Structure 1
Amino acid sequence: MTDIDVKELSRQPIRLQSTRVWRTYSGGRLIDEWQGKASAEDSTFPEEWVASVVQATNVGREHLQEGLSALQLADGSQVTLKDVIASDPTVFLGKAHAEKYGDKTGVLVKVLDSSERLTIQVHPDREYAKTKFQSDFGKTEAWYVIGGREVDGEEPYVLFGFKPGVTPKQWKDLFDRQDIPGMLDAMHRIPVREGDVFLVQGGVPHSIGSGCFLIEIQEPTDYTLRTERTTPKGNVVPDQACHQGLGFDEMLNCFHYDTHTLEQVKDRWCKQPAVLEQSAGGLLTALIKNTDTDRFSMNRLTVDTEYSMKGNGTFVIAIVLKGSGTLTGETGETKVGQGDTFFLPASMTELKWARQGEEPLQVILCYPPGV
Structure 2
Amino acid sequence: MEKPSVLKMLENRVWRIYLGGALLDQLRGKEGTDGYFPEDWLASVVAANNPDRPDKPEREGLSRVMAPNGETVYLKDLIESDPEAYLGAEHIAKFGVHFGVLTKFLDSAERLPIQVHPDRDAAKRLFCSDYGKTEAWYILGSRVIKGEEPYILLGFKQDTDCAKLRELFDAQDIAGMAALMHKVPVKPGDLFIIKGGTPHAIGPGCFLLEIQEPTDYTISLEKCNMLGERLPDFLCHQGIGFDKMFECFHYEGHTFEQLLEAFKPEPRLTARSEEMAQYALITEKETPCFALNALIVSGRCSRETFGRPGALAVTRGRGAVDGIPVRAGDSLFVPAGAGTYTVRADTGEMLELLECLPPR
TM-score of the aligned structures, taking structure 2 as reference length? 0.96
Is 1:7 paired with 2:8? no
Is 1:337 paired with 2:327? yes
Choose which of 17, 27, 30 in structure 2 pairs with 1:24. Answer: 17
Taking every aligned residue pair, what percent have the same amino acid on both sides? 45
* Amino acid aligned to 2:29: G
Is 1:55 paired with 2:47? yes
Q: CA deviation at 1:176?
A: 1.2
Choose which of 256, 265, 269 in structure 2 pairs with 1:271. Answer: 265
Is 1:305 paired with 2:299? yes
- Aligned to 1:347, what secondary structure does the other structure show? helix
Deviations 1:271-293 (A, max 9, x none): 10001101111100011012210
For residues 7 and 80 of structure 1, the distance between their equivalents in structure 2, rounded to whole angstroms, comes to: 19
- Aligned to 2:348, what secondary structure does the other structure show? coil
Is 1:34 paired with 2:27? yes
Choose which of 213, 218, 224 in structure 1 pairs with 2:218. Answer: 224
- Aligned to 1:236, what secondary structure does the other structure show? coil
Q: CA deviation at 1:165?
A: 4.6
Q: 1:326 to 1:64 in 2, by over 3 A?
A: closer
For residues 366 and 16 of structure 1, the distance between their equivalents in structure 2, rounded to whole angstroms, comes to: 14
Task: Find the counterpart in structure 2 of residue 3 from structure 1.
Answer: none
Choose which of 107, 120, 123 in structure 2 pairs with 1:129. Answer: 123
* Amino acid aligned to 2:189: G
Aligned pairs for 1:89-168 within 5 A = 89-168=83-162
Task: Find the counterpart in structure 2 of residue 320 from structure 1.
Answer: 314
- Aligned to 1:217, what secondary structure does the other structure show? strand
Is 1:195 paired with 2:161? no
For residues 236 and 200 of structure 2, the distance between their equivalents in structure 1, rounded to whole angstroms, comes to: 14
* Amino acid aligned to 1:33: Q
Task: Find the counterpart in structure 1 of residue 36 from structure 2.
Answer: 44
For residues 270 and 75 of structure 1, the distance between their equivalents in structure 2, rounded to whole angstroms, comes to: 44
* Amino acid aligned to 1:366: C
For residues 57 and 108 of structure 2, the distance between their equivalents in structure 1, rounded to whole angstroms, comes to: 25
For residues 315 and 99 of structure 1, the distance between their equivalents in structure 2, rounded to whole angstroms, comes to: 14
Q: CA deviation at 1:234?
A: 1.9
* Amino acid aligned to 1:51: A
CA contact (8 A) 2:159 2:251 kept: no
* Amino acid aligned to 1:240: F
Deviations 1:163-211 (A, max 9, x none): 1153322211111111111011110000000001100000000000001
CA contact (8 A) 1:323 1:357 kept: no
Q: Which segments of structure 1 move beyond 6 Å, counting only runs of 4 or more? A: none
* Amino acid aligned to 2:315: L
- Aligned to 1:71, what secondary structure does the other structure show? strand
Task: Find the counterpart in structure 2 of residue 356 from structure 1.
Answer: 346
Name structure 1 gaps, 5 residues minimum: 1-5
TM-score of the aligned structures, taking structure 1 as reference length? 0.94
For residues 32 and 356 of structure 1, the distance between their equivalents in structure 2, rounded to whole angstroms, comes to: 22
CA contact (8 A) 1:319 1:342 kept: yes
CA contact (8 A) 2:117 2:217 kept: yes
- Aligned to 1:182, what secondary structure does the other structure show? helix
Q: CA deviation at 1:63?
A: 7.5
CA contact (8 A) 2:7 2:67 kept: no
Q: Give the CA RMSD over aligned residues.
A: 1.3
For residues 269 and 205 of structure 1, the distance between their equivalents in structure 2, rounded to whole angstroms, comes to: 12
* Amino acid aligned to 2:351: L
CA contact (8 A) 2:168 2:177 kept: yes
CA contact (8 A) 1:89 1:102 kept: no
- Aligned to 2:338, what secondary structure does the other structure show? coil
Task: Find the counterpart in structure 2 of residue 284 from structure 1.
Answer: 278
Is 1:205 paired with 2:183? no
Deviations 1:3-45 (A, max 9, x none): xxx425x1x21011010000011100111111123x4211100
Q: CA deviation at 1:123?
A: 0.2
**Aligned residue pair count:** 358
* Amino acid aligned to 2:352: Q
Task: Find the counterpart in structure 1 of residue 356 from structure 2.
Answer: 366
For residues 68 and 307 of structure 2, the distance between their equivalents in structure 1, rounded to whole angstroms, comes to: 25
For residues 180 and 104 of structure 1, the distance between their equivalents in structure 2, rounded to whole angstroms, comes to: 37
Bigger CA drift: 211-220 or 58-67? 58-67
Bigger CA drift: 233-242 or 295-304? 233-242
